[in-house]
Chains A and B, each alone.
Chain A
């Protein structure tokens, strides 16, 4: 691995033609919203900038991020991006194994101290000294700490790495902890989603590699270019939401007509992601387009906010099977009975003592000491 190699050199060595390369640059520039001149900016950067190695580590995860990434829409994209990163280290797709593979991690950390990008898929379980996730015979926590310390920036792939996802759902037995909570001096960028959209992943990587800086992030460290709008804001069923036309049952006429899935528990209104604008599988579809509500997979703690098919999430802390409205009804019932009992008791007392129903007579009034100001 020569330090002076550019991205373009590596890409060409992989047998990608210049035509394909320029196609990739154009597609990437479009996803990033760079405008017509953007393609040339990306191409120029890739031709001149020295290649930055990407170390891709896997913690406690299901590999759906890798699955999504390898299926990115533009076929050249995956080829090009994987040639930027794969051969360095990614235990899912690399050929090396065992000590030989672990050595690569050491080499990169040593040779590119402070220069490499660390991509983390999955999170870090802290319970029982990290024994719930062992990589290369050691707790993942150790590999992560070594790699994180000298990285230039860390990309947290998916909801696992960004906020915990399924394995961090209550009661989180392995104490699965997202990346940004364990890193202090290295910038972290969260790319949530279970998995994130492939084009979002390649877009984020290309941006960082091309511009040598992180894209603009929001307060949850998500790149604004992909996560600043809710699914609800771009959803093609939004017209039915505004009109007040909702699917009430999975087999009703509204479902056939493609009405809004809000009443079926759609989490689009509280989910920041690009599904509704970019789509999945080369823009073929996305959950709502396939007739299923959004489950909010890119949001923190989404797995603890079920049921997915009801609009109001459960509040287990208030007892099994309760939600805001059930609590409200219980409270109102208690209060209503109190009012009824008090009114009834007052009436009975007045009638029994033969006193007027209006104004309490003075002899019943309590003595007040001093009537002070």
Chain B
């Protein structure tokens, strides 16, 4: 697989050879990441609005304790996966850099972006291309990468509140608290960022399936096999 495949359009007609766009690392990352987002969103939701009270004695019950443990364990996983994803850009190449850097300055990319909007308004037809769908690319950056960064920063800043002022979490993320003053805001922004990610997941899954069905190229299976295949 070549390093750093730029976004480019494919001919509209004809059967084309498949192109390898995702290495194994990116594919594994994608599904682990999806799993941790699901676990984090469910446990996170319940941290904010706990489930109905458990009945019994505190000596044997640990409902919130387990929810928080799961959340924190997957929180670390999510953060480590984010580091892994950045490393994969250089280690694996392919189209993996496009997530962080949509090529807005390139004419084809911007043309593709406008054509995707038209296509989604049911005007015009679908495009075939190698690279991320330009419209989806923008959504990924603004509704996943940026909220993801906010979630990691506020998440560890809240964690620093638990571990105290002498912890490494405080050393690294204590400054985030200073941006807000009142740490209740950390919770609010963390939660808002979660909802943005939930919106993203709704749109992301829907569009992936839709494009796979309608635009004569693979989308969903590409994240499993790594290959973009084109249909006639």
Instruction: Check: A245 CB closer than 8 A to any chain B CB.
Output: yes
**Across-interface contacts of A327 in B (CB, < 8 A):** 192, 195
Q: Is A219 an interface residue (CB 8 A)?
A: yes
Which chain B residue has the least Cβ–Cβ distance from A300?
B181
* Stretch in A115-123, A132-140, A339-347 with 4+ CB within 8 Å of B: A339-347
Contact with B along A242-265 (1 / 0, CB 8 A): 111110100000100001001100
B137 within 8 A of A: no
Q: In angstroms, how far is the closest chain B Cβ from the Cβ of A172?
A: 14
B8 contacts A by Cβ under 8 Å: yes
Pair A267/B9 contact, Cβ less than 8 Å:
no
Q: Mark B31-61, 1 if CB is under 8 A from A, else 0.
A: 0000000000000000011111111101001
Asked whether, in the complex, the Cβ of A244 is within 8 Å of the Cβ of B53, the reply is yes
Q: List 12 A-B contacts (CB under 8 A).
A: A228-B164, A233-B162, A245-B53, A263-B49, A296-B182, A300-B182, A312-B49, A325-B195, A327-B195, A339-B206, A358-B213, A359-B216
B182 x A328 contact (CB < 8 A): no
B28 is an interface residue with CB less than 8 A from chain A: no
User: Which 10 pairs show the lowest CB-CB distances between chains A and B?
Assistant: A244-B63, A328-B195, A243-B61, A300-B181, A364-B125, A365-B125, A239-B58, A242-B65, A270-B184, A243-B58
Write out the residue numbers on chain A whose beta carbons fall within 8 Å of the beta carbon of B214.
346, 358-360
Total number of B residues with any Cβ neighbor in A under 8 Å: 61
Given A242-B65, A305-B184, A313-B184: A368 in contact with B9 (beta carbons within 8 A): yes
B225 — which chain A residues lie within 8 A by C-beta? none
B11: which A residues are within 8 A, CB to CB? Answer: 368, 371
Residues facing B in A286-306 (CB within 8 A) are 296, 299-302, 305
| Partner among B51, B64, B161, B174 whose Cβ is within 8 Å of the Cβ of A242 | B64
| C-alpha gap A360/B184 in the complex (Å) | 50
With both chains docked as a complex, state the minimum distance between the C-beta of B98 and any C-beta of chain A, in angstroms.
15
Tell me whether B87 is interfacial, beta carbon within 8 Å: no
CA A296 to CA B162, docked complex, whole Å: 17
Whether B122 lies near A324 (C-beta < 8 A) is: no
B120 at the interface (CB under 8 A from A): yes
Q: Is there contact, CB below 8 Å, between B49 and A244?
A: no
Asked if B30 is an interface residue, CB under 8 A from chain A, the answer is: no
Inter-subunit contact B203/A335 (CB<8 Å) = yes
Among residues of B, the one whose C-beta sits closest to the C-beta of A233 is B162
* Nearest Cβ on chain A to B165's Cβ, whole angstroms: 5
A373 interface residue per 8 A CB criterion? yes
The distance from the CB of A2 to the nearest CB of chain B, in whole angstroms, is 42
Instruction: Tell whether, in the assembled complex, residue B126 and residue A360 are in contact, meaning their CB atoms are under 8 Å apart.
Output: yes
A263 to B183, CA, bound (A): 18
Given A358-B214, A360-B215, also A315-B188 (CB < 8 A): yes
Q: Which residues of chain A are near B178, meaning CB under 8 Å?
A: 219-220
For B10, B53, B63, B231, the residue with the greatest tally of chain A CB atoms inside 10 Å of its CB is B53
Smallest CB gap from A339: residue in B: B206
Once A244-B50, A248-B53, A324-B195 are accepted as A-B contacts, the answer to whether A371 and B9 lie under 8 Å apart by CB is yes
Known: A296-B184, A366-B124, A371-B10. A224 touches B165 (CB 8 A): yes
- Knowing A243-B58, A243-B61, A359-B213 touch, does A312 contact B188 (C-beta < 8 A)? yes
Tell me if A331 and B195 are in contact (CB < 8 A): yes
Range, interface on chain A? 35 or more
- Closest approach, in angstroms, between the C-beta of A219 and any C-beta of chain B? 6
Cα of A245 to Cα of B51 in the assembled complex, Å: 9
Which residues of chain A are within 8 angstroms of B65 by Cβ–Cβ distance? 242-244
Contact A324 B125 (CB under 8 A): no
Q: Is the CB of B124 within 8 A of A240?
A: no
Taking a contact as CB atoms under 8 Å apart, the answer to whether B8 and A372 are in contact is: yes
A305: nearest residue on chain B (CB-CB)?
B184
Chain B residues, CB < 8 A from A301: 181-182
Say if the beta carbon of A110 comes within 8 Å of chain B: no
Residue A349, interface by CB 8 Å: yes
A346 and B11 alpha carbons, distance in the complex (Å): 24
**In the complex, what residue of chain B is closest to A357 when comparing beta carbons?**
B213
Q: Is A230 an interface residue (CB 8 A)?
A: yes
Q: In this assembly, does B198 line the interface, its C-beta being within 8 Å of a C-beta of chain A?
A: yes
Task: For A365, list chain B residues within 8 Å (CB).
Answer: 12-13, 125-126, 216
Contact of B125 among A218, A244, A296, A360 (CB under 8 A): A360
* Whole-angstrom distance between the Cβ of B194 and the nearest chain A Cβ: 8
Neighbour of B12 across the interface among A163, A263, A300, A368, CB < 8 A: A368
Q: Specify which chain B residues have a CB less than 8 angstroms from the CB of A299 in the assembled complex.
A: 181-184
Let me know if B188 and A313 touch, CB within 8 A. Answer: yes
A241 proximal to B (CB < 8 A): yes
Q: Within the assembled complex, what's the spacing in Å between the Cα atoms of A56 and B214?
A: 76
Residue of B nearest to A364 (CB): B125
Cβ-defined partner of B50 (8 Å) among A246, A315, A331, A336:
A246
- Asked whether A367 is an interface residue with its Cβ less than 8 Å from the other chain, the reply is yes
- Residues of B179-232 contacting chain A, CB below 8 A: 181-188, 191-192, 195, 198-199, 202-203, 206, 210, 213-216, 231-232
Assembly CA distance A371 to B213 (angstroms): 22
A277 interface residue per 8 A CB criterion: no
Assembly CA distance A296 to B186 (angstroms): 15
Give the residues in chain A near B215, CB-CB below 8 Å: 359-360
Provide the residues of chain B in CB contact with A302, threshold 8 Å.
182
CA distance A362 to B174 in the complex (A): 56
A324-B10 contact in complex given A301-B181, A312-B48, A335-B202, C-beta closer than 8 Å? no
Chain A, residues 345-356, CB within 8 Å of chain B (1/0): the string is: 110010000000
